[in-house]
Structure 1
Amino acid sequence: MDTQKRDLPGYETRWWGMLFIGISLLVISLDNTILNVAIPSISRDLGATSSDLQWIVDAYVLVFAALLLTMGAISDRYGRKLWLQIGLALFGIGSLAAALSTSTNMLIASRAFLGIGAAVIMPSTLSLITASFPAHERPQAIALWAAVFGLGVGIGPVVGGLLLESYEWNAVFFVNLPVIAIALVGGQYFLYESRDAKAPKIDLPGVVLSITGLFALVYGIIHAGEAGWADQQTITAFAAAVVLLGAFAIWESRTPTPMLPLHFFRNFSFTGANTALALIMFSMFGSVFFMSQYLQTVKGYTALEAGIRIVPLALTMAFMAASSARITARIGTKYTVALGILIAAAGLFYMSQMYEVDSSYGEIVVGMIILSGGLGMAVSPATDSVMGSVPESKAGIGSAMNDTTRELGGAMGVAIFGTIMNNIYTDKVGQLSQQLSAMPQSMLEAVSDSIQAAHIVAGNPQVPDFARQLILDTANAAFVDGMTSAMLIGAIVMAVSSGLVLLLLPSKVQRPAAYETVPDLDGTAVPAASAAD
């Protein structure tokens, strides 16, 4: 066994390598939230419209999600360390271009380029862990991976707020450059190359169908959140996604060299865990999406003050993710994931019942801690289940599938919960048209557009004092009603997800050898031997 461990690429320096994998991951997780803090400054300096701002965010998500599967497969073939280093370099170039942007179009293009770099980096981080760590250490390494990602997402608003206290908005992109430099240098010395020695040629039809199909699907989800689910572009995008991804599935089932072997889905450690991750991200992104707006607009905190108040969420998630491997060792993957999701459901239910316009921070932080504790407990073992259920030679595509389901679930959650919240908000602020009939129609339409616009209208010196307070009270109450309704639905989805995990996910990770076949000497397919840990 010791000889087998030493034969793993990078085994001797695996924990040092883990440090620089974590730093590489931190770049992506920070970027997911640090930009949100800079959006108002970008709008002012570049004259960006609300549509421009949406595309600054969405361009990254679209490209990232569409390319993940392809980049994971390519990293298996050409080398995960090489591909990680290339991804970091691309992300650095994109960050520099974004920081130097002088127009919204340039910034949107730079964000799309950043999506390419992120899609190259993300699958390589998990696949390098799978290749470098023996099976008995892998759950703890993946737990640390999940902890770093959660920490980065949580501290992003704080870092962004601190930077904007002293610098311009482009500092949120410049800050990536020294971090990338450290990751590149450390990775070069402490990470070792690994690849699929028997990787087939690139599945070009699969690449084209997966990229176009996922792009159409994510675009449809994003557009539905903006224009509605019955909008013609939304319907067209979803129809194109069904055709393209259906063709992808048919092609992958028939080609001898598939990019994504469909037999992976026969292993419920793979299918059940991916389903759990998609539903977790659906509820988490859909619900937590409102927290920044709630703290800044309703509660009146600055971006930095709001970021600091979200730190307990990040720390709790990181702590529970790092601890989840020990819990899993005691009660198994199935029960750890199901229990974590159930705790998160309780957190969302608490938030849906307790959050009000005048809630104290003590009441707010309790909900965040319960939610993040459950999520941290569930995400890491679910991720380990996905990675443990695919052959190590296919770790890149396994990691990419894990990341793709997260992105799709999160995007769907933001779109659906955003629609629920917006419908409730619009309905409740609609009463102002009767109460303030003398107010210009353009102002009333702005109030109905968003809670931020409502606060801007209320701050207009031409608005009488009685109308100002009525607008603020109505808009704040409407937003909180919409937010808590979405959180209640998220709690229900989480509770149902916990039950699905108990039905679908095996108690222990089913290693891939039990689900694959190898040719016998006479050409007959026989079950492969179980893989030893």
Structure 2
Amino acid sequence: MQPHENTGHPRRWAILGVLVISLLVVVLDNTILNVALRTLADPVHGLGASQGELEWSINSYTLVFAGLLFTFGVLGDRAGRKRFLLIGLVLFGLASLLSAYAQSPAQLVAARALMGVGGAAIMPVTLSIISNVFDPRERGRAIGVWAGAVGLAVAIGPILGGALLEHYWWGSVFLINVPVVALGVVLVALLVPESRDPSPGRVDVAGVLLSVVGLVALTYGIIDGGEHGFGRPVVWAAILGGLAVLAGFVAYERRSDHPSLDVRLFRVPRFAAPVAIVGLVFFAAMGVMFFSSFYLQLVRGYSPLETGLLFLPFAAAQLVFAPRSAAMVRRYGGRAVATVGLALTVAALAGFAFVDAATPIWVVLVVFFLQGVGMANIMPPATESIMSALPREKAGVGSAVSNTVRQVASALGVAVLGSVLSAVYRADVDSALRDLPTGAREAAGESISGAYATAGQLGPAAPQLVAAADEAFVAAMHWAAALAAVVTALGILVVLRWMPGRSAAPAGAPAPAAEPELAGTA
């Protein structure tokens, strides 16, 4: 074979387009949901969901998704990646229908969990197929396009969700997934080649069960503590029990000869460092996205469509800068690009700590734009570094680790920052609720959505309650944003200490024998 010969599939760019559509349906759903949270909390036009139930509507998806990614990655490698992509799309479409017609928050949470099953079958095989059909020399560019698709979904989702909520009932934000899924199924069937791992791994059933139980218990404790207080034994039993189960999961995986998560990989800096920064960034970013929608729609009074349009600077930055990130990495090295991206993200998240009810909206737009630029220059170099640490036929391992860490961190970010938001809000608004009836006091003290719903029944006293709720929410938002900035800043330390610069192995190169953890995985 000539050194210059391209080993990629002849239809690789068309295949990438199909994979982008498959990816869009997964990311689109979550970005639409962010805009719909306010409506879902409305007892008249939505489901009357509490803040905890809204957090679970996000986290039931992400935790199931994360818990099954490794298993479905292995099953996809064994049974066929195209087949699993089709199965995932169909499941996702069916779960979208169930979500659209949910009659209670509990039904929505369950339907979203089923969505997580479909998403877990879709996401890992998209990166695996990219690694399989592209020549290593083109893989960085392809991954940049793949990452840019996330930005496209971020751009489309809030605007589409806002437009649907302006004209239709809340279930339309889930129903819109169905035609996208149908298109994806047809194109995948026609264009995507089947591929398998020649030496597939075994399914780690015990590891999956331990990880899911541990994550659900930990997340339950954090969310319930934030919503009802951390002074109850059940909260700490869930948190400590979840941590104990997760510790048992790590110990089990270290001894297993077919681990779903090979913890030996985390001893290798060029693999572990980018995984860590992915987790830190998404922990912070998803928590901030959770409260920013309430800030825009309630504190600032924007409609769902206007809120979706206000997220455009973040999305535009992703679309413009993510595809160019691979070229920046080649020129300056992954460490430099990721450091600058993290610094911009820290600055943006810290900016939210100074935003209040009277801040000019253009300042908020600049903050969103900076966050988009920063994240656009973090994800592509991190993903490429993760994927290039393993040989092509084991791409499923890299994609599963990357996406699992991202989803787990997102769930914990929503849970932890949501709990901080809830706890600070509850403490600050309490003095303004003392003269309200018991039922109204409980509803208004639970969340800013509850306060607005209560204010609608108070008559002349409503403006005073709304002002107190806005002030308490903004103060809580400041604490949550500051914590998010601190967590992201830890990523800078990780990058400077452990992430390789230009000396990293080229994409697609086999793992060096000097690194037994990677060599063993290969």
Query: Where do residues 345-384 of structure 1 align in structure 2 (5 Å cutoff)?
Result: 345-353=346-354, 355-384=355-384
Query: Where do residues 51-450 of structure 1 align in structure 2 (5 Å cutoff)?
Result: 53=54, 55-102=56-103, 105-229=106-230, 231-353=232-354, 355-433=355-433, 438-450=435-447
Q: Is the 1:76–1:395 contact (alpha carbons within 8 Å) kept by the matching residues of 2?
A: no
Contiguous gaps of at least 5 residues in structure 1: 519-524
- CA pair 425-122 structure 1, distance change in 2 beyond 3 A: same
| Cα drift, residue 282 of structure 1 | 1.5
Q: Is the 1:76–1:397 contact (alpha carbons within 8 Å) kept by the matching residues of 2?
A: no
Say which SS state the counterpart of residue 311 (structure 2) adopts: helix
Structure 2 residue aligned with 1:521:
none
2:16 maps to which of 18, 36, 54 = 18
2:495 maps to which of 498, 501, 504 = 501
Structure 1 residue aligned with 2:471:
477
Q: For 1:471-521, what per-residue CA distance to the aligned partner results, in whole angstroms no more than 9, with x for missing partners?
A: 222221221122123212322322232122110111144467444479xxx
Matched letter for residue 440 of structure 1: P
| Cα drift, residue 274 of structure 1 | 0.8
In 1: Cα distance, 2:422 partner to 2:208 partner: 37
Structure 2 residue aligned with 1:28:
26
Say which SS state the counterpart of residue 290 (structure 1) adopts: helix
Aligned residues, how many? 515
- CA pair 409-442 structure 1, distance change in 2 beyond 3 A: same
In 2: Cα distance, 1:526 partner to 1:497 partner: 23
Say which SS state the counterpart of residue 186 (structure 2) adopts: helix
TM-score w.r.t. structure 2 length?
0.90
Say which SS state the counterpart of residue 254 (structure 2) adopts: helix
The two structures, once aligned, show a CA RMSD in angstroms of 2.9
| Cα drift, residue 104 of structure 1 | 5.0
| Cα drift, residue 151 of structure 1 | 2.5
- CA pair 269-231 structure 1, distance change in 2 beyond 3 A: farther
Q: Which moved more, 1:247-256 or 1:263-272?
A: 247-256
In 2: Cα distance, 1:526 partner to 1:71 partner: 22
Q: For 1:200-239, what per-residue CA distance to the aligned partner results, in whole angstroms no more than 9, with x for missing partners?
A: 3333433443444444444444444434555444433344
1:492 maps to which of 466, 486, 491 = 486
- CA pair 99-284 structure 1, distance change in 2 beyond 3 A: closer
- CA pair 253-424 structure 1, distance change in 2 beyond 3 A: closer
In 2: Cα distance, 1:388 partner to 1:34 partner: 32
In 2: Cα distance, 1:232 partner to 1:154 partner: 43
- CA pair 352-215 structure 1, distance change in 2 beyond 3 A: closer
Contiguous gaps of at least 5 residues in structure 2: none
Matched letter for residue 154 of structure 2: V
Q: Which moved more, 1:281-290 or 1:150-159?
A: 150-159
In 1: Cα distance, 2:443 partner to 2:87 partner: 45
Q: Is the 1:264–1:390 contact (alpha carbons within 8 Å) kept by the matching residues of 2?
A: no
Say which SS state the counterpart of residue 68 (structure 1) adopts: helix
- CA pair 396-235 structure 1, distance change in 2 beyond 3 A: farther
Identity of aligned residues (%): 37
- CA pair 4-110 structure 1, distance change in 2 beyond 3 A: farther
In 2: Cα distance, 1:316 partner to 1:253 partner: 40
Q: Is the 1:80–1:396 contact (alpha carbons within 8 Å) kept by the matching residues of 2?
A: no
Matched letter for residue 109 of structure 1: A
| Cα drift, residue 175 of structure 1 | 1.4
In 2: Cα distance, 1:201 partner to 1:218 partner: 28
- Look at both structures and tell me which one has the larger radius of gyration over its CA atoms: 1
In 1: Cα distance, 2:414 partner to 2:106 partner: 24
Matched letter for residue 308 of structure 1: L
Say which SS state the counterpart of residue 289 (structure 1) adopts: helix
- CA pair 3-89 structure 1, distance change in 2 beyond 3 A: farther
Query: Does 1:454 pair with 2:451?
Result: yes
| Cα drift, residue 100 of structure 1 | 4.2
Q: Is the 2:49–2:105 contact (alpha carbons within 8 Å) kept by the matching residues of 1?
A: no
In 1: Cα distance, 2:157 partner to 2:217 partner: 29
Q: Which moved more, 1:249-258 or 1:91-100?
A: 249-258
Q: Is the 1:14–1:190 contact (alpha carbons within 8 Å) kept by the matching residues of 2?
A: no
Matched letter for residue 384 of structure 2: D
| Cα drift, residue 109 of structure 1 | 3.1
In 2: Cα distance, 1:367 partner to 1:528 partner: 43
Query: Does 1:463 pair with 2:463?
Result: no
| Cα drift, residue 271 of structure 1 | 0.5
Matched letter for residue 75 of structure 2: I
Q: Which moved more, 1:322-331 or 1:256-265?
A: 256-265
| Cα drift, residue 316 of structure 1 | 1.0
In 2: Cα distance, 1:317 partner to 1:34 partner: 17
Q: Which moved more, 1:85-94 or 1:246-255?
A: 246-255
In 2: Cα distance, 1:236 partner to 1:80 partner: 40
Q: Is the 2:55–2:414 contact (alpha carbons within 8 Å) kept by the matching residues of 1?
A: no
